[in-house]
Structure 1
Amino acid sequence: MTGASRARMHQLEREGDRPAKRVNKLLSDQETMIGAVLLGNNLINILASALATQVLTTLIPGPWGVAVATAAMTVLILIFAEVLPKTLAIVRSDDVARALSAPTLFIVRLFGPIIYAIQWIVRRTLRVFGVKLDMAVDVLAAHEEIRGAVDYHHSEGLVETDDRRMLGGVLDLSDMDVSEIMVHRKSMVLLDAGLPARELVDAVLEAQHTRIPLYRDQPDNIVGVLHARDLLKALAECPTGVEGLDIAAILREPWFIPDATNLKDQLNAFLKRKNHFALVVDEYGALQGLVTLEDILEEIVGEIEDEHDTTLDGVRRQGDGSVNVDGHVTVRDLNRAMDWRLPEGEAVTIAGLVIHEAQMIPEPGQTFIFYRHRFQVLRRQRNQITALRISARLDDDSDA
């Protein structure tokens, strides 16, 4: 039952297959199902052993009868009650689960009250040792089960690397915040709303983005977002040309979101509001960066390149297998580019990962070895690491 494909059972149930429906019902309360099967299994084995002992001790009086009964039942139970049926169930788990779903469901209903009593005793006993279990303990989280299946099939060569990354990216959305993928405020293109219209138009033409936030007096005071399409339309309709443009009239209302918003919720919000651009602020309302729909999609499908993008921006491969990496490159992007497995939960950028592991702000020239890679700091600007050289995966497990 536990080895049956849940995806196939759900699909068969949708097609009207009654055995598959019973399997899904059993798996919905997996602990009770397993408990009922174990209870029936032990009852049959103990009863069979007791009957065999009684019969054989009548035929062979004394200790020899007990010895023969023990040996015979051990062989019979091992072969016909353990190894043979379980081997068949492993090889053809879906078919066996469907075939035995009806008797198993009957056993579960028959022994259900006894199983709940046993579960209550088990939980009370474990609580004495400090282990607290809820009545609805989920043995396998669905996401981890899917991730494990994808990794397994990838190792078997049945799932390509790009497909594994895409499926993993979908599963990671609910575990990541917008602060992990946003464009930091230091890298944002901001324009002063007080500039003359011609200067704003020239700045928009030079920018690589279609949406540009405008501020007044200070960068944190965002008053609107200028869309290149709106600007083009206003230019076409303005009879006096650029000088007569009223930039304030075509600004779009800025959308502010907290930096703790997870990517799954933000993706749904983008689709619901039909808005692909949001400004990220911290708990004090200070501007931290911006995030777009494309940023979230790139977490699923990888880097989406257009005529303004540079392939592997900030990652330069070297002849010896190492790479020179700009400090602002995210750990996730580097892992995808190099097919590495650096931890993505400790820090967002590769510079942040080095600082986290070193527990200091390193000086240029310092070298560290962790996660089986050698990290050498090449450049540092004030307190920010701007360039590193990272070796290919090392064979030893040394750490520093």
Structure 2
Amino acid sequence: MSDGDPWTALLVVVVCVVLSAFFSGSETALTAASPAHMHALEKEGDKRAGIVSRLMRQRNRMIAALLLGNTLFNIGGSAFATSVLVALFGEHGAVYATFIMTAMLLVFAEVLPKTLAINHPDSFSLAAARTVGIVVSVFGPLLAGVEFFVRWLLKMAGVELGEGRNVLSPYDELMSAVDILHEEGNVERSARDMFGGVLDLQVMHVSDVMVHRTKMRAIDADLPPKQIIREVLASPYTRMPLWRERPDNFIGVLHSKDLLRALDAAGGDAASLQIDEIMLEPWFTPEATTLKDQLEAFLKRKTHFAFVVDEYGEVMGLVTLEDILEEIVGDIRDEHDVAMLGVRAQKDGSVLVDGAVPVRDLNRAMDWHLPDSEATTIAGLVIHEAGAIPEAGQVFSFHGFRFEVLRRVRNRITSLRVVPEGL
């Protein structure tokens, strides 16, 4: 071997290690890159992002190509290193080559490039896109054969490729992604809650956010007009349900602005007002209507108020546009709203909660994660978990919290103390 041969072989070894590092880093980057970011860049005209998106869509073939390149250059580099060291040190050179190449490949071809790629997956993917795209195209037929052979082997082993795939719905995928970003500090809690609220519009129903009939403020339409005006002025709401003959027979909705216009047109003579001519026709919506559909209906009808009815046509409550928007942005309060209802944090870490407080509102207020699929209110959750209506003084522990029933009125739990376990 001439004096230049060892240096040439050494150069080949270095090139093989560098190329192996490229394929290792590309594999990590392209599997960790953000599809959404690439899609956005592609729409802006970045051709490299388009290549990355295409490679992501043929993930199996892309990974096979990268593993092929990585394996090829790992073996090539090791072979050249062994030949050089055997020529220099005899039969002991193979042992030296094993230890030296293991260290070099581990540090420079695996750990270093993959650490860089996992910390900057998008930029690494864009930089490697064209080269990887060419490799996948050139070795496409070979990789297709390899993929077919692998599938055949797995099938012979009784492994179904469909098994083990992620069964989460797109909704769950998005929610989980946002929760992870929040835990990592990349998304603020308010933004996480708003995003979750938007997604929840298609799975929640109007019955989940409505004001129950027992809490509705309504006016008897047969009262004298002056008294109706006083009732409207005493209410914090601009729209008031009207009933006649019995409290559950709702015949319309009175808007305070319409009432003022009519009063102005009558020259301030309240006695001459005809409430039936001023009120709006009632609109009834089924309890199973999703918030997404109800929001679209509000926008289409250009109204903000609807009565919620059950399958028998009985009014269960009312829902407003504000109720739906609060599921996205949180509690909306103005100068006429009543102070926050039902959640009072104590110095000892416990929280006093009115039984009628919705579980979702409590979760948002306290950043908790109590389940809200089986019950709308916190009292309903306790009754569901207990399997009965608890007596005052009973204590239950579930979902990582301790619930103490403080007060019960007839069949309703009106007050509870909630304590996170560990306090």
Is the alpha carbon distance of 1:125 and 1:276 closer, same or farther for their aligned partners in structure 2, counting shifts above 3 Å?
farther
Structure 1 contact 279–289 (Cα < 8 Å) conserved: yes
Is it true that 1:93 corresponds to 2:125 in the alignment?
no
User: Which whole-Å CA distance do the structure 2 matches of 1:10 and 1:203 have between them?
Assistant: 55
The alpha carbon displacement at 1:170 in A equals: 3.2
Determine the C-alpha separation between the residues in 1 that align with 2:376 and 2:164.
34
- Does 1:13 pair with 2:45? no
2:366 — aligned with what? 338
Residue of structure 2 equivalent to 1:151: 183
Which residue of 2 is the match for residue 84 of structure 1? 112
**Cα shift at 1:191:** 3.0
Give the equivalent residue in structure 2 for 1:297: 325
| CA displacement at 1:118 relative to structure 2 | 6.1
1:216-268 per-residue CA deviation (whole Å, 9 max, x = no partner) reads: 44555433222111121122223693333222223223333232333334334
Distance 1:58 1:344, change over 3 A: same
Comparing 128-137 with 345-354, which one deviates more in the overlay? 128-137
In the TM superposition, what is the alpha-carbon distance from 1:187 to its structure 2 partner? Answer: 0.9
1:354 corresponds to which residue? Answer: 382
8 A Cα contact 2:182 2:189, kept in partner: no
SS in 1 for 2:110: helix
CA contact (8 A) 1:56 1:66 kept: no
Verify the 8 A CA contact 1:258 1:280 in the aligned structure 2. Answer: yes
Deviations 1:126-183 (CA, angstroms, capped at 9, x unpaired) = 97569647899989934432332133216xxxx5443443344334333432222211
Q: Which residue of 2 aligns with 1:258?
A: 286
Q: Equivalent of 2:421, from 390, 394, 398? A: 394
Q: Structure 2 matches for 1:21-40, cutoff 5 A? A: 21-38=50-67, 40=69
* Structure 1: unaligned runs, 5 residues or longer: none
Could you tell me how far apart the structure 2 residues matched to 1:27 and 1:281 are? 48
Taking the aligned partners of 1:91 and 1:211, their CA distance within structure 2 comes to 54
- How far the C-alpha of 1:324 sits from its partner, in A, is 2.2
Partner SS, residue 174 of structure 1: coil
Q: Structure 1 pair 27/185, CA: closer, same or farther in 2 (3 Å)?
A: farther
Residues 131 and 25 of structure 1: is their aligned pair in 2 closer, same or farther, counting only changes over 3 Å?
Answer: closer
Give the deviation of 1:22 after TM superposition. 1.9
What do residues 182-237 of structure 1 show as CA deviations (whole Å, max 9, x unaligned)?
11111112334444444433332332211122234455543322211112112222
- Partner Cα distance (2:63, 2:292) in 1: 34
| CA drift at 1:20 | 2.1
Q: Which whole-Å CA distance do the structure 1 matches of 2:166 and 2:346 have between them?
A: 55
Q: Hey, what's the Cα distance between the residues in 2 that align with 1:121 and 1:142?
A: 34
Letter in 2 for 1:16: G
RMSD of the alignment, in Å?
Answer: 3.8
- d(CA) in 2 for partners of 1:163, 1:387: 31
- Measured in 2, the distance between the counterparts of 1:340 and 1:91 equals 31
TM-score, normalising length: structure 1: 0.80
Match of 1:173 in 2: 201
Mark the CA change 1:242 to 1:366 in structure 2 (over 3 Å): closer, same or farther: same
**Count of aligned pairs between the two proteins:** 390
Q: Provide the rounded CA distance (Å) in 2 between the counterparts of 1:167 and 1:345.
A: 18
| Aligned positions of 1:96-135 closer than 5 A | 96-109=124-137, 110-111=139-140, 113-114=144-145, 117=148, 121=152, 124=155, 132=163
8 Å CA contact 2:308–2:318 kept in 1: the answer is yes
**TM alignment of 1:36-51, pairs within 5 A:** 36-38=65-67, 40-42=69-71, 45=74
**Separation of aligned partners in 1, 2:167 and 2:130:** 24
Q: In structure 1, what is the equivalent of residue 17 of structure 2? A: none
Counterparts of 2:269 and 2:214 in 1: how far apart (Å)?
33
Counterpart among 353, 365, 371 of residue 393 in structure 2: 365
* Structure 2 unmatched ranges of 5 or more: 1-29
Residues 126, 132 of structure 1: 8 Å contact kept = no
CA contact (8 A) 1:280 1:289 kept: yes
160-169 vs 221-230, which moves further: 160-169
Q: Residue 403 of structure 2 aligns to a residue in which SS? A: strand
Q: Aligned with 1:222: secondary structure?
A: strand
Cα distance in 2 between the residues matched to 1:250 and 1:270:
21
1:55 positional shift: 6.0
SS of match in other structure, 2:341? coil
Q: In 1, distance between residues paired with 2:378 and 2:166?
A: 42
- Match of residue 233, structure 2, among 188, 198, 205: 205
The Cα shift of 1:100 comes to: 0.9
Alignment partner, residue 190 of structure 2: 162
Q: Distance in 2 between matches of 1:123 and 1:223?
A: 67
Percent sequence identity is 49
Once residues 347 and 126 of structure 2 are traced to their aligned partners in structure 1, the CA distance between those partners, rounded to angstroms, is: 57
Mean Cα deviation higher: 355-364 or 216-225: 216-225
In the superposition, the TM-score normalised over structure 2's length comes to 0.77
Contact 1:327/1:387 (8 A) holds in 2? yes
Distance 1:113 1:268 in 2: 48
